[in-house]
Structure 1
Amino acid sequence: MTQSAAPSPDTAVVLINLGTPDAPTADAVRRYLGEFLSDRRVVALPRLFWLPLLHGIILPRRSPKVALKYASVWLEGGSPLAVYTRRLAEGVQREMPEVLVVDAMRYGNPALTKVLEDLRGRGIRRVLGLPLYPQYSTTTTATVGDVLARETAMQVRMVDDYHVDPGWVAAVADSIREHRARNGAGDHLVFSFHGLPKRVIRNGDPYQRQSEAGAQAIARALELEPHQWTISYQSRFGAERWLEPATTTALAALGERGVQCIDVVAPGFAADCLETLEEISMELAAEVAGRGGTLRYIPCLNDSPAHARVIAGIARRGLDAWPMAQP
């Protein structure tokens, strides 16, 4: 374990994930989605049009269905995203005893605003926010920045992205190697990233470019040839045109080519969640099985020791480049 030269008891590292309902119920899902989908960064439609549609039609219809999906993956300690993020923070804390490490959610609980309030009360003077999104996007990372920018009592900085960080690339590549060592190599590897409307990318969002750069770096680490892997985008919502190819379309195309066993990894997600455990491992796996093939999902890095070391390294470099100002 590498430590900084001197302890910094006035410093905190906050690991920030997207968010999750408090329970796999329609009411809890409705509260969570209501907060998430009301963010102008997430949905840019005019408020006078969008909010009545969201609260009057979309949430009442969608929340019970989404709650059932959450129930199918819920863990004893809560949602997978919350459990793994909390455990990851505990692992990073063990790697970084010289600072305080806590976890927060941009939407839902533990709410980032409340976590910052608690840190102020504990006498913390300097906060490094580390969104657990390897790729920067205005729809995710920037929303964290919006909250951090409102903090005036503490010095605050944020890690923007780590999509080609060598430690992160190596950790994801190692997780794929370990999966294939246990189960044998599939016929093809699909890198599935969360999708975005094409409009967001046209407006200058670097997410697609960074996602592809990260996938290419992992493929190089695995010494894969171009025909052995594919990038795709999942979790479409609404009527807009989204990034392509869609993961479901890419999987169908592979089936048409006779590819029987497909490994799928989702490196844009730091921790397993509804989009990986239900959408990929259940829903998309069932689609592939219906065509006579097999989809094998490779879990996220989650709370693994390797992941904790990677995140601790990124945080420590961020802190080392940021000397604390004198009071």
Structure 2
Amino acid sequence: MTSRSAPRPIGVLFTNLGTPDDTSVPAVRRYLAEFLSDRRVVDLNRLLWLPILYGVILALRPKNSAASYRSVWMDEGSPLLVYARRQVERLQKRVDAEIEQPVHIALAMRYGNPSIEAGLRELDAAGCKQVLILPAYPQYSATTVATTFDKIGEVLADWPEPPQLRQINRYHDEPAYITALANSVREHWETNGRAEKLVMSFHGIPKRYVKQGDPYPRDCGITAQLLAAELGLGRNEYKVCFQSRFGREPWLQPYLDQTMKAWGKAGMKTVDVMCPGFSSDCLETLEEIREENRGYFEEAGGDSLRYIPALNERDDHIDMFTQLIKRELSGWI
């Protein structure tokens, strides 16, 4: 009689952007230094950019950013990390229930902690020789997805035996993702009623990156069109905007802040804003949308800007990630 050995576990590295370890100025400075020194994020000449970064930006910006983080910090920590941990915890339970072969899911952040290296070490310690990389960015951009893959390659470069890798580049048009977004909007409308406009706000990138080949705005446009169709919205009932621009060069437009100011001034009274490019609520949604842009709109004359939360650990969001993992692990299981 022969016996079969237990199947080797498969790893999933679930990644997101990252966050400071706490709201202190030194912690925020460390995080911003790592983030803004990434060539994928800011691709300016290093001889020009690094003196500006370390001589000006990191001397001034961390204090204001730390105050912003304090305004959204949760009892359990940074919102982005809190929601990502909840997502991974729920995903692990779902995958354990639906996949017979062991699958180990590790959380990692591109910047800050838990680091990419720590996540890969966790999977290696669990015996995972096959690893699926799942960046929690619906739309592809070199500034998010590609830099995650860069870091993974950098970490594994010195490993004697790196794991076999698969990677997910995007899920911007996944039907289950679009359905989850639509469900979140419908639930908001059932509770609060419909505003005059629905804004789909995506994180911006410099226009120059798009001219260099970054497909990000195309992915955002596809998501917006599919979501509008799912909700039955006409073209004049929603608008795509871009937020979070940094520096003086042109970024993707229309800019959210300018749009909110113009609409408030023009007499619009209510607007709903959602962020389909953010898998978890974070500083850019909770502070920039729910507070800063609400202020712009209402100070200009609008009555109410209502923020529709990110999908976070919603059941339908976890369902979507589970389906994605099961499909991408085909052939390994």
Of 138, 143, 147, which residue of structure 2 is paired with 1:143?
A: 147
Q: Residues 172-215 of structure 1: CA distance to partner in whole angstroms, max 9, x if unpaired?
A: 00000001101111110000000100000001101001001101
The answer to whether the aligner puts 1:167 opposite 2:173 as a matched pair is: no
- 2:166 is the counterpart of 1:157: yes
Aligned amino acid, residue 317 of structure 1: R
Partner of 1:27: 26
What is residue 13 of structure 1 aligned with on the other side? 12
Preserved contact between residue 274 and residue 309 of structure 2 (Cα < 8 Å): yes
Normalising by structure 2, what TM-score?
0.92
| The 10-residue stretch of structure 1 (50-59 or 162-171) with the greater mean CA deviation from structure 2 | 50-59
Name the amino acid aligned to 1:72. S
- Residue matched to 1:296: 306
- Given the alignment of the two structures, is residue 258 of structure 1 paired with residue 267 of structure 2, yes or no? yes
Work out the CA distance in 2 between the residues paired with 1:237 and 1:259. Answer: 27
- Cα–Cα, structure 1 residues 67 and 55, in superposed 2: closer, same or farther, change >3 Å? same
Which SS does the other structure have where 1:96 is aligned?
Answer: helix
CA distance in 2, matches of 1:214, 1:101: 27
In the alignment, which residue of structure 2 is the partner of 1:235? Answer: 244
Alpha-carbon separation, structure 1, partners of 2:105 and 2:117? 16
Equivalent position of 2:58 in the other structure? 59
Aligned to 1:177: 186
Deviates more, 1:176-185 or 1:43-52: 43-52
The answer to whether the aligner puts 1:118 opposite 2:122 as a matched pair is yes
2:267/2:301 contact within 8 Å kept: no
Query: Which of 282, 287, 291 is the equivalent residue of 1:282?
Result: 291
Query: Greater shift after overlay, 120-129 or 58-67?
Result: 120-129
Partner of 1:225: 234
For residues 53-109 of structure 1, give each alpha carbon's deviation from its aligned partner in whole angstroms, at most 9, with x where no partner exists.
211210110001000000000001110000000100111111101411121100000
Secondary structure of the residue aligned to 2:15 is: strand
Measure, in 1, the Cα distance between the counterparts of 2:152 and 2:25. 30
- List runs of 5+ in structure 1 lacking aligned partners: 1-6
Match in the other structure for 2:218: 209
1:306 paired with 2:310, answer: no
Query: How far, CA to CA, are the matches of 2:8 and 2:269 in structure 1?
Result: 54
Matched to 2:127, the amino acid is G
Q: 2:3 is matched with which residue? A: none
* 2: CA distance, partners of 1:218 / 1:8: 40
How many pairs are equivalent?
A: 317
Amino-acid identity (%): 45
Shift of 1:145: 1.1
* Correspondence 1:100 to 2:104: yes
The 2-side partners of 1:148 and 1:10 are apart by 20
Which residue number in structure 1 is paired with residue 138 of structure 2? 134
Counterpart of 2:230, as a letter, is A
Contact 1:9–1:100 (8 Å) recurs in 2: no
1:107-139 Cα distance to aligned partner (Å, 9 max, x none) = 000001121022212211111111010000011
The secondary structure found in structure 2 opposite 1:263 is: strand
Please give the TM-score of this superposition, normalised by the length of structure 1: 0.94
Give the aligned partner of residue 209 of structure 2.
Answer: 200
Report what 1:4 is aligned to: none
Measured against aligned partners, the alpha-carbon deviations of 1:235-265 in whole angstroms (never above 9, x if no partner) come to 0101111010000122233334432100000
C-alpha root-mean-square deviation of aligned residues, in Å?
1.3
Provide structure 2 residue ranges, at least 5 long, that are not aligned to the other structure.
Answer: 1-5
What SS does structure 2 have at the residue aligned with 1:205?
Answer: coil
